Amino acid sequence: MKRVFIFLGKGGVGKTTSSASLSFWLAERGEKVFWFSVDPAHNISDIVGVKDLSQPKNIYKNLYAQEVDVESYLKSFLEETVFKIKSIYKYLKVSGLESIFDIMRLSPGMEESAILYAIYDRLKTVESDYVVIDTPPTGLTLRILALPNINIKWINALKHWRLKILDRRSMVAHVKGEDYLEDASLTPQDDKVIEELESHLDKMRFLEDIFTNRALTKKILVLNQDRLSLSESERILNTLRELGMDVDLILINKWGLCNITEDEINRVFYGKEKVVLPFLEHKFSLSRDDLLFLAEGWAERLI
């Protein structure tokens, strides 16, 4: 069973650096690790010095890295959706769906859905024992984590109404004959819509289990020693609780740059395990040794 590590936090606090530290630390121990980013900013390549990480690439020992191209994934996601709609409703001669690609692409929730399915694909297909996920800034990540539960409720509601439609069709077919409805399905077993809904439901249940299973999945909250970072981190913590989740470790990165006291941090994160990471002065880029150094003292706790 894969172990999953999700790094959370506002933009610029050091999520990518922290996820890199854990990834290299695990690889140094001989573990097979898959480290990927769904952050459109794509900072992994900057850290490892590899220009093209659009596909999984072996960057160190058994460590593979990838930066998911969210825009390309969204396009593929929409094309597949349109293809399935045309296939399912071919008897209605559905056409012109390609013309609304741009509208669909910009619709609320589409980016989050694309990222969610990208995470699903990688969790399902990679063979590594450890998966490290570098996420987008706070708002987008929280919506992604909330989506499986929301989608499960929506899909169940859609299934309920689809079954009612099939029941009405069966009644019509009983009275007027099955030929009256031409190629329209009459039972759940033959219905492509039910089949598609069940497929999506299985994926959402899988992701919901991954996101909420604290034995397999660890969430690491990264923040800096400033008031804005502390405030946003508190919001992350509260939202996760509403979603039935929690953080497993808090990394206070670049300690010493600002003046938020330990007492203030302890008040917000009372009872949570916290680790202070030093600010490495005069470091425009971090070496592998730097990353391994930053992982000392907290990576072991997650494992």
Instruction: List pLDDT tens digits, range 219-272.
Output: 999 999 888 999 999 999 999 999 999 999 999 988 877 778 888 888 888 888
Instruction: Reply yes or no on whether the pLDDT at 107 is more than 70.
Output: no
Print the domain residue range for 155: 3-302
**pLDDT confidence of residue 88:** 65
Instruction: List pLDDT tens digits, range 226-237.
Output: 889 999 999 999
Is residue 143 very low, low, confident or very high in pLDDT (cuts 50, 70, 90)? very high
**pLDDT confidence of residue 103:** 64
**pLDDT confidence of residue 80:** 77
Question: Residue 141's closest CA among 120, 111, 121?
Answer: 111
pTM equals 0.88
Instruction: List pLDDT tens digits, range 19-36.
Output: 999 999 999 999 999 999
Asked if residue 37 lies in contact with residue 68, where contact means CB atoms within 8 angstroms, the answer is yes
Number of domains in the chain: 1
- For the domain that residue 124 is a member of, what is the CATH number? 3.40.50.300
